A and B are shown apart, each in its own frame.
Chain A
Amino acid sequence: MATPEATDTSGTKPNGPVAAVLLATGIGGVVLAALTIWAEASTGFKDSLAYDLEVGPLSGKTIWGTAAFFGSWAILGLALRRREVDLKKVGVVAAVLVGLALVGTFSLFFELFTEE
């Protein structure tokens, strides 16, 4: 017997675009975290991210993190626009990526990589 939650999803839109935005969220977060760690490990790289002198290296980290989010969303959105995917699996992958982003942007973690 069908439970109330086992609703009919036939006739609804393909879930590929939803998978795209989920993965893009993870990718944007991981890029932000990776740049944060890399900048901590290399003063030269940190300085190169200071596109705006008043904001400092945070300007480059956030510009590239945001670009990775919107860029990967656009690319994946095009690639998956008509696809039906296993949304639960995509959700798990996105959760792992967001988890990595949370760890990578945690100060006690990324400061472990601070250049001596």
Chain B
Amino acid sequence: MELTTREFWALVHGLLLGGAFLLAFSGGLAGFYSLRPEYVTPAGIHERVRRLTIGTTTMAVLVWLTVVSGTWIVYPWYREDVPDSPRSQLLANPDTEDWHTFAFEWKEHVAWLAPMLATATAFIVLYYRDDLIKNQTARRIAIALFVGAFGVAVIAGVLGALVTKKAPIT
């Protein structure tokens, strides 16, 4: 029972980095949602914001690492110009070519929006820190960016998982 180098990196990219980003989302959203003056005591604000700062910064780093590892390490194996590469296999069959032309082409481009959105989210939290609770417009914008980053990551992650199911990198 062992993984090839390619399988290992596909696992790191999709499951460890991308999966961790997606799993952390609900905790971050709950933190943002409850960051309102009527919900948190002054003593609680600092602790809540500290968690949000660590969480959003970690998530931004995770999603950058996900797209960089996906594009620069895993993707070259996917698109190798040899008959048994996943891309070649999908394009060789009219029944599966949409998995590349629609799904993978969408995934490989849209995924890069997620780190920009996640970085902007983290910056807003880092910039305002405890004062974020006083800036409800900034807080709502941060939530929108955060949800946007998650939505984009879900599209990329689901399409990546489906394509991998049809033509895995081995």
Report A-chain residues with C-beta under 8 Å of the C-beta of B75.
Answer: 55, 58
- Bitwise, A10-44 to B at CB < 8 A (1) or not (0) is 00110101100110110011001100100000000
**How many A-B Cβ pairs are below 8 Å?**
110
Given the interface pairs A18-B127, A98-B117, the reply to whether A87 lies near B109 with Cβ below 8 Å is: no
B116 at the interface (CB under 8 A from A): yes
A48 to B117 Cα, complex, angstroms: 28
Size category of the B interface is 35 or more
Q: Separation in Å of the B17 CB from the closest CB of chain A?
A: 16
Within 8 A of A (CB), among B101-139: 101-103, 105-106, 108-110, 112-113, 116-117, 119-120, 123-124, 127-128, 131, 133-138
**How many A residues have CB within 8 A of the partner chain?**
43
A109 to B148 Cα, complex, angstroms: 20
A13 to B123 Cα, complex, angstroms: 13
B144 at the interface (CB under 8 A from A): yes
B79 at the interface (CB under 8 A from A): yes
Interface of A is mostly: helix
Q: Separation in Å of the A36 CB from the closest CB of chain B?
A: 5
Q: Which 6 A-B pairs have the closest CB atoms?
A: A54-B76, A105-B109, A107-B106, A107-B105, A4-B38, A12-B131
A7-B136, A36-B109 are known contacts; what are 16 more A-B pairs with Cβ within 8 Å?
A7-B133, A17-B127, A18-B123, A18-B128, A21-B124, A52-B72, A56-B79, A58-B109, A59-B71, A61-B109, A105-B112, A106-B110, A107-B106, A107-B109, A108-B102, A110-B105
